[in-house]
């Protein structure tokens, strides 16, 4: 859209991003879909045109599906803002899920500045620490779930299996013992113990 002042909005997804362009008066002038990959990012930028003629690009999901696109647009010199995705229960009556409509809403929100924010930086030490934090949070949550699962299984364990681990409720004591658990009794008890070993 060379030579025109435009406002852009992008509805992002895992495989496809949908772009909507408005003119300087807020009239819809074009929309289209692009692959969510480096080639698609560049084609989308070409559709928007010169960064100097684009007032703003509103992108939904700049920290998730739109992260790669956001980085590329910023590199190219576009003014990019994060636009909050509308909750489905907040959609206006008669409006179903529509990617082109969502892209148009993103453009209009970006133009108005309502519900927008500066995209989080996706580089530098802050992003490096964020990635480590995400991994640690998942590890802690998984560990907590495994401990709860093991204790639940022991509570209902058949025969004397539960008695073998009574008094060892602390995770740092219990989980290593379960991981080293050997055969116990009949086929049912061995099945439970094998499951406990797997969880531990």
Cβ neighbors of 155 (< 8 A, separation 6 or more) are 162
- Is the separation of the CB atoms in 162 and 144 below 8 Å? no
Instruction: State the pLDDT at residue 2.
Output: 56
Cβ neighbors of 21 (< 8 A, separation 6 or more) are 1, 6, 7, 8, 28, 29, 30, 31, 47, 48, 107
- How far apart CA 114 and CA 131 sit, in angstroms, is 29
Query: 0.85 exceeded by the pTM?
Result: no
Tens digit of each residue's pLDDT (9 = 90 or more) over 47-63 = 999 999 999 999 999 98
- How far apart CA 151 and CA 172 sit, in angstroms, is 13
Q: For the chain (length 200 residues), average pLDDT per consecutive 10?
A: 82 96 93 96 96 95 92 95 73 61 94 84 70 83 86 78 75 81 73 83
Instruction: State the pLDDT at residue 57.
Output: 96
Q: What residue ranges define each of the domains in the chain, with the CATH number in brackets?
A: 6-117 (3.30.420.40), 124-199 (no CATH)
Q: Which of 154, 150, 172 is nearest to 163 (CA)?
A: 154
Q: Which of 108, 60, 55, 107 is nearest to 86 (CA)?
A: 60
């Amino acid at each position: 859209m060379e030579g025109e002042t435009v406002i852009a909005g992008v509805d992002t997804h895992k495989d496809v991003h949908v772009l909507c362009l408005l003119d300087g008066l807020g009239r819809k002038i074009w929309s289209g879909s692009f692959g969510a990959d480096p080639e698609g990012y560049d084609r989308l930028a070409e559709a928007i045109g010169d960064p100097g003629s684009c007032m703003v690009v509103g992108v939904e999901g700049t920290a998730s599906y739109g992260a790669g696109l956001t980085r590329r647009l910023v590199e190219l010199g576009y003014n990019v803002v994060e636009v909050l995705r509308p909750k489905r229960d907040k959609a206006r009556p008669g409006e179903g899920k529509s990617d082109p409509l969502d892209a148009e809403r993103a453009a209009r929100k970006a133009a108005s500045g309502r519900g927008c924010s500066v995209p989080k930086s996706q580089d530098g030490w802050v992003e490096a620490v964020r990635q480590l934090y995400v991994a640690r949070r998942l590890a802690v949550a998984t560990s907590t779930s495994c401990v709860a699962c093991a204790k639940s299984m022991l509570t209902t364990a058949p025969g004397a299996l539960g008695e073998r681990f009574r008094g060892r409720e602390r995770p740092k004591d219990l989980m290593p013992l379960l991981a080293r658990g050997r055969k116990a009794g009949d086929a049912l008890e061995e099945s439970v113990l094998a499951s406990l070993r797997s969880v531990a």
